[in-house]
Structure 1
Amino acid sequence: MGFEDKVVVTCALTGVLANRKQCPGIPYTPVEIAEDAKRAYDAGASVVHIHARNDDGTPTFEPSVFARIKDEVRKRCPIILNFSTGVLGDDVSQPVEIIKTVRPEIAALNMGTMNYAKYSESRKQFMFDMIFPNPYSKILTLLEAMNEAGVKPELECFDTGHNAGIKPLLHMGALREPYQFSFIVGVLGGIPQSVESLQLQTKIMPAGSEWEVIAISHGHWRMLATALVLGGNIRTGLEDHLYLPNGQMAKNNGELVEVAVRMTRDVGREPATVEEAREILRLNELAAGREAARDVGHTIASHSAAS
């Protein structure tokens, strides 16, 4: 089976919005997050996307918490780490420090500003209503840190304008191949959940890019099936959806990954191992670049000391 038939299955473990009142299985602490990362890995995921939380479940971008999460995950399994950088304000100092010091292999990079809301049809009111600001100045600051640290940006696109909007970054040389996209569908303010949405996004992205679907809430499993048929990668997890296809609430992230892996095999594809995912996403090239840069730095430091 060639790599074109392999699927990188990502599990988004916790997010920032849902809490244990809505789903008791959502992990909060570094140990709980690491235990669920292991469950996802054992079920067939090769990547975990992680937001950090305080012990009470509130979101945090404290670098020391991300460092503890990385340490706890590494004690348990070799799964690829993808950290969030999605702060709501303009201050990205903490995500930049996380990128430079904790160094996940991948970091999510939100590619545009948007309305971000949730509407209840039964109540005829918005459950929340906010603006998620991601101007180019913010994107470039995060991207520069990723480039310096050898961390691969995962380009999170909630709409077609976010996808097409990478052109200035390509022209500047700030965004470098290989490109990895995540197409989010189902968020109010972004592109809708439909086959046509994914087809359009894949036509806009640069040819040869890797991509996955992130399907929020209702329609989650149908959109994962769509991505599998279209040749993309997939993401599941309690950040994206709380329920199994039969309508039962998932007890943990491993249960969601088990379904995603089964779906992958049902369409004639196979979940990628961690090492295969590193090759598909070309993370090994970044790792080689990091080592080369480190060697050059050591050489320069040695010559400076000798002189």
Structure 2
Amino acid sequence: MLQVCPNGARDPGACRGLPILPVLPGELAAAVRQAVAAGASDVHLHPKTPQGADTLDPEHVAAAVTAVREAVPGVPVGVTTGAWAMPDPRRRAELIRSWPVLPDHASVNWHEEGAEAVAEALLERGVGIEAGIFSGTPAAGRFLASPLADRVLRVLAEVTDPDPRTAPATARALLAELGDALRAPVLLHGEEAAAWPVLGLAAELGLDARIGLEDVLELPDGTPATTNAELVRAAWTMLNAP
């Protein structure tokens, strides 16, 4: 499975000054439609305010999910629940319980305070959980000790090492930390210059992967990407190489 992550928590002006980071619902819908046509089969997006800030506000979540779902019928659509969008975990859970339109899944970062409370709110509403396990944090141990570990849709093994030379080894160490007892599927991904080497490792190991402007702004050859679809096409080629 190749997931597209079209925007992330990036500032809209971060993409080398080009107007390519989708923010508004219509922009997300267009970007995801192109990415799915290029080979993506799942979506992880960050609903934003019109000013570009991540938000869990019911109105903005509903607008983003609805627009993308209409653009790519039948493709699972997920959102973030990152603490940067709402630092108070109790308020995060309250907002989830107030969402009028539900995503198919949502990521929960297990190193963040209140992760289990946020995950429980999602489970109450029938939303699948992507357990975000960041390298360099205590997330793996916390997750494996959690009573919710067997109730997640998948694990996002998130390699935070940005060095393309060392990130694959960091990824292998994270996977080893998660261990053989892990029952959920694993989606492995990196960030910035390390995104492509880690995607190559995911291909080697037969794991799910993701790509998009959330994770990286350059194509494998180092040239700036202008759309999410460009990144997806490059990832699709790498994942399906002999």
Please indicate the TM-score interval, normalised by the length of the shorter structure.
0.7 to 0.9
In structure 2, do the counterparts of structure 1 residues 178 and 95 end up closer, same or farther at CA, with 3 Å as the change threshold? closer
In structure 2, do the counterparts of structure 1 residues 234 and 181 end up closer, same or farther at CA, with 3 Å as the change threshold? same
Residue 69 of structure 1 deviates from its aligned partner by 1.1
Residue 245 of structure 1 deviates from its aligned partner by 1.4
Q: What are the within-5 Å matches in structure 2 for residues 179-190 of structure 1?
A: 180-187=154-161
In structure 2, do the counterparts of structure 1 residues 51 and 196 end up closer, same or farther at CA, with 3 Å as the change threshold? same
In structure 2, do the counterparts of structure 1 residues 223 and 254 end up closer, same or farther at CA, with 3 Å as the change threshold? same
Map of 2:167 onto structure 1: 194
TM (normalized to structure 2)?
A: 0.86
Distance in 2, Cα, partners of 1:92 & 1:27:
29
In structure 2, do the counterparts of structure 1 residues 43 and 92 end up closer, same or farther at CA, with 3 Å as the change threshold? farther
Higher relative contact order (CA 8 A, sep 6+): 1
Q: What are the within-5 Å matches in structure 2 for residues 71-220 of structure 1?
A: 71-78=66-73, 79-88=75-84, 89-94=87-92, 96-98=94-96, 100-112=99-111, 134-135=112-113, 138-159=114-135, 161-170=138-147, 174-177=148-151, 180-187=154-161, 193-205=166-178, 206-220=181-195
Q: What one-letter code is carried by the residue in structure 2 that aligns with 1:87?
A: A
TM (normalized to structure 1)?
A: 0.69
Q: What are the within-5 Å matches in structure 2 for residues 1-307 of structure 1?
A: 8-23=1-16, 24=18, 25-78=20-73, 79-88=75-84, 89-94=87-92, 96-98=94-96, 100-112=99-111, 134-135=112-113, 138-159=114-135, 161-170=138-147, 174-177=148-151, 180-187=154-161, 193-205=166-178, 206-267=181-242
In structure 2, do the counterparts of structure 1 residues 263 and 91 end up closer, same or farther at CA, with 3 Å as the change threshold? same
Aligned residues: 231
Q: What one-letter code is carried by the residue in structure 2 that aligns with 1:90?
A: D
Distance in 1, Cα, partners of 2:157 & 2:21:
23
Distance in 2, Cα, partners of 1:251 & 1:10:
18
Q: Is the 8 A contact 2:55 2:61 kept in 1?
A: no
Residue 266 of structure 1 deviates from its aligned partner by 0.5
Q: Secondary structure at the match of 1:200?
A: helix
Q: What one-letter code is carried by the residue in structure 2 that aligns with 1:50?
A: L
Distance in 2, Cα, partners of 1:207 & 1:144:
19
Residue 42 of structure 1 deviates from its aligned partner by 0.7
- Which structure carries more strand by proportion? 1
Q: What one-letter code is carried by the residue in structure 2 that aligns with 1:49?
A: H
In structure 2, do the counterparts of structure 1 residues 180 and 201 end up closer, same or farther at CA, with 3 Å as the change threshold? same
In structure 2, do the counterparts of structure 1 residues 197 and 154 end up closer, same or farther at CA, with 3 Å as the change threshold? same
Q: Secondary structure at the match of 1:101?
A: coil
Larger Rg: 1
Q: Secondary structure at the match of 1:218?
A: helix
1:29-48 deviation digits (Å, cap 9, x = unpaired): 11001111111111111111
In structure 2, do the counterparts of structure 1 residues 193 and 93 end up closer, same or farther at CA, with 3 Å as the change threshold? farther
Distance in 1, Cα, partners of 2:144 & 2:196:
31
Q: Is the 8 A contact 1:213 1:224 kept in 2?
A: yes
What is the aligned-residue RMSD (CA, Å)?
A: 2.1
Q: Is the 8 A contact 2:167 2:190 kept in 1?
A: no
Q: Secondary structure at the match of 2:3?
A: strand
Distance in 1, Cα, partners of 2:93 & 2:15:
27
Q: Secondary structure at the match of 2:240?
A: helix
Q: Is the 8 A contact 2:93 2:117 kept in 1?
A: no
In structure 2, do the counterparts of structure 1 residues 14 and 44 end up closer, same or farther at CA, with 3 Å as the change threshold? same
1:188-247 deviation digits (Å, cap 9, x = unpaired): 7xxx95333222332333344311122110121111001110121111100110011122
Q: Gaps (5+ residues) in structure 2?
A: none
Distance in 2, Cα, partners of 1:187 & 1:237:
17
Identity within the alignment, %: 25
Q: Gaps (5+ residues) in structure 1?
A: 1-7, 113-133, 268-307
Q: Secondary structure at the match of 2:23?
A: coil
